[in-house]
Amino acid sequence: MSSENALFTPAPAAAPARPKPRLTSLSHGGGCGCKIAPGVLSGILKGTTAMPMPKELLVGIETADDAAVYQLNDEQALIATTDFFMPIVDDPYDFGRIAATNAISDVYAMGGTPIMALALVGMPISVLSAETIGKILDGGASVCRAANIPIAGGHTIDSVEPIYGLVAMGLMHPDRVKRNASARVGDRLILGKPLGVGVLSAALKKDKLDAAGYAEMMRVTTQLNTPGPALAALDGVHAMTDVTGFALAGHALEMARGAACTAQLDWQNVPFLTGVRELAQQGCVTGASGRNWAAYGHEVSLPAGFSAVEQALLTDPQTSGGLLVSCAPSAVDKVMAIFKEHGFADAADIGEMAAFNGSTSLALR
């Protein structure tokens, strides 16, 4: 392996020990809350030059989907994606686990099976010890082992803030690709994981998250979205995405816009992690929540009396969030059964796709 593609090699044990600062203190944001705000990102992309796309590229950037998909032959399509961010937790091993799970999720969200990964590593090597950086990499490697894929290489840089993630690749049949833009009027919307990771991460930074809350956060952020391929095999499943930094509202909007529909959410049916509402009421919300609302709030219709806390939960950035599935009503039982078989006990039917009402792409009821 060339030095360009080599992963970080820990220094000898004799190297002088460095202090161990809180990982979250070294970054201005954490997890998928680090994403550039949707409105800002849209402005940046408008200024880029469009490129010609080959016919083999089944999924590109046109609908802000989870990954690119390139058809190799009649039986195989390659899925390629990348995701990386700054620490959302202070434990280096846990940080690595969360980041790797989040990156691989985009392969599952397209309906594919991961085959390998490359590591993306940016670390302040004058601040963090070789031991700490090694634990981050070990955490990521443990998730890749669970997904039955190798980390086949990567790239490292000396960075001001700690950054870790993966390039993830997968395979699937070209006919089973599940885009985020192929929902249909009348589809039900199924969410695989409960919400609230952004709130819990904000509470952690403020030292307001207890051990039980941290365990909940780790449980959901390190659970691989393995139902993806089985869901993609169902004829009644029309569209999929995963809920990450743009929150439930943002990713439901992407799905609705792509299909020229209005996503209608039954807010009382949306699952949340334990204690999230109480923590949000105490002010444990991320700055990304407000940025999300500023970017797409004009497209959302809220019911009367919808509180500021509920709005913050609707726009709460998720890190390694759950799959959002748009499926025919006749497929709901099968979709729910697949989620349960893979250990997703919190999966819930949270709404439907309706005909576009001419003004809003997302409506809560």
Q: Which of 32, 144, 284, 327 is catalytic?
A: 32
Helix 287-296 with 38-46: angle, nearest 10 deg: 60
Distance CA 222, CA 145 (A): 13
Collapsed DSSP state (helix, strand, coil) of residue 264: strand
Distance CA 155, CA 163 (A): 12
Is 261 annotated as catalytic?
no
DSSP line for 188-206: EEEE-S-B-HHHHHHHHHT
Distance CA 314, CA 296 (A): 12
> Which residue, 343, 335, 285, is CA-closest to 314?
285
Burial of 50 per CB tally in 10 Å (0-12, 13-18, 19+): exposed
How far CA 140 is from CA of 101, 216, 266, in Å, comes to: 8, 19, 35
Token couple for 275: 């204690």
Active site residues: 32
